[in-house]
């Protein structure tokens, strides 16, 4: 009898653990879409063995400030206009996510996978003071094929993968959230990969590209005054029409193959 009782208790514990893991991995629906309460509850239930799953979910315009999405799956989701102030997306799966017009004040995207994501005109600063502590971080994030537009002044992209990323309009005739020029002044792209990246006509003055990989990047007509390309690989990068007064190319690789340099 005792052995049977022990077996029954063990079986219940195993089943309970399985159900708990299943619930953590399954989105909770309130009506037709998730609410802030649903998201918070699912994050609370998730653990290391069953990360929170919000893939392909509509989370647009929700207040998700200060929530921890580290390691969560949000691939294909919609975060348009969401408040992500101080939220953590460390190592989260954000492939193809729409982050247009979201608030990313002090948001942590370090090591997140943002492949193919869009960040069109996000809100970064809460006041006109533009405090450094409010900057989001994209350090070591994967932003390959991502599309960014708006004001990204002083944002940190160190060691990020921005291969084929586009800063600015792809087709202004069909994209309503595009601004004509992306503000990248003072950004830090140290050791970032910007192979085939498009930064055409943007303002990247006083920006750090130290040791960055800019092979075949498009920087035509960009404002690169006082930009630092020390040790960067600019092989076949196109600088045609760019403003380069005060730019530092000391130790840069591939200068002879770069296009449009004086």
106-122 pLDDT per residue, tens: 999 999 999 999 999 99
Main-chain dihedrals φ then ψ at residue 94, nearest 5 degrees: -120, 30
146's tokens: 């991502």
pLDDT at 177: 53
Residues in the chain: 262
CB neighbours of 196 closer than 8 A, spacing ≥ 6?
163, 164, 215, 216, 217, 218
Confidence of residue 32 (pLDDT cuts 50, 70, 90): low
Higher pLDDT, 111 or 47: 111
d(CA 110, CA 140): 6
Does residue 53 carry a pLDDT above 90?
A: yes
Query: Of 69, 32, 64, 67, whose CA–CA distance to 54 is shortest?
Result: 69
d(CA 154, CA 209): 12
Higher pLDDT, 12 or 248: 248
Max intra-chain CA distance, the chain = 90
121's tokens: 């005109």
Higher pLDDT, 44 or 197: 197
Average the pLDDT over 152-176 and give the result.
85
Confidence of residue 191 (pLDDT cuts 50, 70, 90): very high
Does residue 17 carry a pLDDT above 50?
A: no
Confidence of residue 170 (pLDDT cuts 50, 70, 90): confident
| Burial letters 111-140, b for 16+ CB under 10 A, else e | bbbbbbbbbbbbbbeeeeeeeeebbbbbbb
Average the pLDDT over 52-65 and give the result.
97
Average pLDDT for the chain: 88
d(CA 16, CA 35): 26
Higher pLDDT, 162 or 16: 162
Residues of the chain with pLDDT > 90: what percent? 75
- Neighbour count for residue 170 (Cβ, 10 Å): 11
pLDDT digits (tens, 9 = 90+) for 201-232: 999 999 999 999 999 999 999 999 999 999 99
């Amino acid at each position: 009898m005792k052995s049977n009782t022990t077996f029954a208790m063990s079986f219940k514990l195993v089943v309970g653990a399985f159900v708990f893991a299943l619930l953590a991995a399954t989105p909770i629906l309130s009506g037709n879409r998730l609410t802030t309460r649903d998201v918070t509850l699912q994050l609370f239930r998730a653990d290391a063995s069953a990360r929170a799953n919000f893939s392909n979910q509509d989370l647009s315009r929700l207040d998700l400030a200060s929530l921890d999405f580290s390691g969560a799956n949000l691939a294909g989701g919609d975060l348009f206009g969401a408040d992500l102030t101080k939220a953590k997306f460390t190592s989260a799966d954000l492939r193809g996510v729409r982050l247009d017009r979201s608030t990313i004040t002090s948001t942590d995207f370090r090591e997140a996978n943002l492949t193919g994501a869009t960040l069109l005109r996000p809100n970064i600063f809460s006041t006109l003071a533009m405090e450094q502590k409010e900057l989001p971080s994209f350090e070591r994030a994967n932003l390959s094929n991502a599309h960014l537009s708006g004001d990204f002044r002083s944002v940190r992209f160190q060691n990020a993968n921005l291969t084929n990323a586009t800063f600015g309009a792809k087709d202004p005739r069909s994209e309503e959230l595009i601004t004509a020029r992306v503000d990248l002044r003072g950004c830090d792209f140290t050791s970032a990969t910007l192979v085939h990246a498009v930064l055409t006509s943007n303002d990247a003055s006083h920006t750090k590209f130290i040791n960055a990989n800019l092979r075949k990047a498009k920087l035509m007509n960009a404002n690169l005054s006082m930009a630092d390309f020390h040790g960067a690989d600019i092989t076949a990068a196109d600088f045609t029409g760019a403003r380069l007064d005060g730019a530092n190319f000391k130790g840069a690789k591939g200068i002879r193959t770069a296009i449009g340099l004086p």
